[in-house]
Amino acid sequence: MIPPAPARLSRLWFPSGGIAASGIEDGHAKLVRAGFLRPSHSGIFHMLPLGRRVQHKVEGLVARHMEDMLAASRVSLSSISAQSLWEKSGRLPSIGSELFKFSDRKNVEYLLGPTHEEEITSLVAQTVKSYKELPLRLFQVTPKYRDEFRPRHGLLRGREFVMKDLYSFDSSVESALDTYNLVRKVYSSIFAEMELPVLAAQASSGDMGGNLSHEYHLPMSLGEDRVISCDNCDYVANEEVAESTLCGEVTPNSSVEVWRGITKDRTRLVNVWYPRQLRGVDDNLHVYTDADINVAEVKSIVPDLDAGVEDVLPLWMAATTMGGTAAEVVHIVDGRLPHSFSSDLEGTAPKISSWPPTLEPPKRQLRTCIHSVRATTDSPLNILRIRTGDQCPRCPTGHLKAEKAMELGHTFFLGTRYSEPLGATISMQATGHKSPLQMGCYGIGISRIIGAVAEVMADKKGLNWPVAIAPYSCVIIPGKEAGEGEAIEVYHQLNDTVRIAARHFDAVLDDRQRPLPWKLTDADLIGFPVIVILGREWRSAKRVEVQCRRLGVSRSVDLADLPKFVSQLHNPHTSM
């Protein structure tokens, strides 16, 4: 039987080596320089052959888990969605500014889907009628579109992106929660196979709806979220929903500072009062500024807070001096300030200091509202952001770690959030009555994983892919001591043996007409997990040099031992 022709880099187009490295190079710049992708427009990218191979591997790994572990069926919904469906679900006003919208020649309004809850629910509503057809799990891997105000960090925050979205439909809440918990286990398996240290954090459901959700975060300096985790128990939460205790003690000489916000309608001024200096649980003094305000906690009291406004007083004055406009000052007081401070605010004119010289304080009486405890639990407010070292709210001996992280996936239990308004109902066995389906939706950012791995796992030499999603897991580079036939022999020996023992093994032969030092530098830049070099010892002793930057390995290996050694490198849990 004739063996298949070896994979050759000379037959693959990837424009690497033509762009000089910048002084400070992030993961996205390395992806461009190594020939994985090229920018097309703002926040939009062309995937080149190497990038497409990585994307294909991520898609395949995720799809395999969806099909094998969840028995989910794969679909491919159109990227074009009817705007009327979004109006019917009630989601259009909250997310409308992020949508790419257009009309056809008949003036029917459409949009490019950033996600597909409305479309999949409409599809199921038309086809599924009985509880006997449930549970139903449908997933797809397709491009999504979001009109980001400020695209940044390459694939991490783009306007076109590839996402896996799974939708589950169950007949009861109990069954839907069983599905939700099963998907969470599958997500853990997916990220473990990719060798990514992902944190599964409690999260807010936001505009998606529902009351149960988890985010899957990869810690990284470019992360857009802050994740809080305990060093002693399994508590992990997004900062927006993280519980906290009143850590720290107000020092005698600490001044009281104020951070100001304003509501979107400009009629309510929000004064947030907090101590400038606290003695922490580590017995050190910590100084707090406006940047340490927990905006999520403020929004729990003032949901329509416009947190992006810096100079709020002129806006508030302009709105409240208009005839007939009700005006209010909301005081939010950190629980560590003495009770007497809140008492001083009661029944007095609003404390507003540092007025701009061109403004006069309002002369008419304003409504004043004071908050010093949470409405739901009656516990003191913690207005300051959680810091590393703060006490865990769940266990008596644990301490919290706060770190920036990038969201790679999200799971939502939706309940009837979409099935009810879109008419997705089934006939129940006991009564025969119609009942709305219980839904869940579960996303994984395929292209975002590529950008995040490039950012987190790269080093000064280049990219450094995990074996499971590398463009090729092993590259064979012949030096001048080895002929092409000998390099092909090594290729087939590895391909025939290692592929059986290592699930993600795929080799490629670097037969490009380039000097050996150039090929080695390019291999490091591309980020092949394993590099096999037929160098100086090949001719005399049939020994090759094997490098694995990920594990810090560089070793001379006899040809007879090569398959076993490469198999061990492909299995990160095998001792060397």
Q: Is the dihedral of CA 419, 421, 424, 426 positive or negative?
A: positive
Spatial separation of the C-alpha atoms in residues 43 and 458, rounded to whole Å: 22
What pLDDT, on the 0 to 100 scale, is given for residue 560?
A: 93
What pLDDT, on the 0 to 100 scale, is given for residue 457?
A: 95
What pLDDT, on the 0 to 100 scale, is given for residue 18?
A: 60
Average pLDDT for the chain:
89
Spatial separation of the C-alpha atoms in residues 221 and 455, rounded to whole Å: 9
Residue 21 · residue 27 · CB < 8 Å: no
Q: What is the mean pLDDT of residues 305-327?
A: 75
**DSSP structure class, residue 125:** H
Assess whether pLDDT exceeds 90 at residue 562. yes
Assess whether pLDDT exceeds 70 at residue 197. yes
> What is the C-alpha end-to-end distance of the chain, expressed in Å?
34
Spatial separation of the C-alpha atoms in residues 5 and 478, rounded to whole Å: 17
The H-assigned helical ranges of 134-235 are 173-193
Task: Give pTM, 2 decimals.
Answer: 0.89
Spatial separation of the C-alpha atoms in residues 6 and 366, rounded to whole Å: 79
Assess whether pLDDT exceeds 80 at residue 133. yes
Predicted confidence band of residue 573 (pLDDT cuts 50, 70, 90): low
Q: Which of 247-261, 309-323, 355-369 has the lowest mean pLDDT?
A: 355-369
Burial class (CB in 10 A: 0-12, 13-18, 19+), 128: middle
Q: Is the dihedral of CA 484, 486, 489, 493 positive or negative?
A: negative
Predicted confidence band of residue 253 (pLDDT cuts 50, 70, 90): confident
What pLDDT, on the 0 to 100 scale, is given for residue 360?
A: 53
The H-assigned helical ranges of 431-561 are 446-457, 484-501, 516-526, 536-541
Backbone φ and ψ for 17, nearest 5 degrees, come out as 80, -5
Q: What is the mean pLDDT of residues 60-80?
A: 98
Q: What is the mean pLDDT of residues 282-309?
A: 88
Predicted confidence band of residue 377 (pLDDT cuts 50, 70, 90): confident
Residue 477 · residue 519 · CB < 8 Å: yes
What pLDDT, on the 0 to 100 scale, is given for residue 575?
A: 47
What pLDDT, on the 0 to 100 scale, is given for residue 348?
A: 47
Spatial separation of the C-alpha atoms in residues 489 and 487, rounded to whole Å: 5
CA triple 162-220-210, angle to 5 deg = 55
Spatial separation of the C-alpha atoms in residues 1 and 321, rounded to whole Å: 89
CA 568 to chain centre: 31
Predicted confidence band of residue 128 (pLDDT cuts 50, 70, 90): very high
CB atoms within 10 A of CB 166: 25
Q: Which of 15-24, 174-183, 244-253, 524-533 has the lowest mean pLDDT?
A: 15-24
Assess whether pLDDT exceeds 50 at residue 140. yes
Predicted confidence band of residue 433 (pLDDT cuts 50, 70, 90): confident
For the chain, domains (ranges, CATH) are 9-20+472-570 (3.40.50.800), 48-78+116-242+401-454 (3.30.930.10), 249-385 (no CATH)
Residue 463 · residue 525 · CB < 8 Å: yes
Q: Which residues contact 456 (CB under 8 A, 6 or more apart)?
A: 27, 218, 219, 220
Q: Which of these, 467, 575, 459, 485, lies nearest to 531 by C-alpha position?
A: 467
Assess whether pLDDT exceeds 90 at residue 249. no
Assess whether pLDDT exceeds 90 at residue 496. no
Residue 166 · residue 137 · CB < 8 Å: yes
What pLDDT, on the 0 to 100 scale, is given for residue 362?
A: 53
Q: Which residues contact 513 (CB under 8 A, 6 or more apart)?
A: 10
- Structure tokens of 336? 């560590």
Helix, strand, coil shares of the chain, percent, nearest 5, are 30, 30, 40
pLDDT > 90 in the chain, percent: 65
Spatial separation of the C-alpha atoms in residues 236 and 227, rounded to whole Å: 7
What pLDDT, on the 0 to 100 scale, is given for residue 354?
A: 46
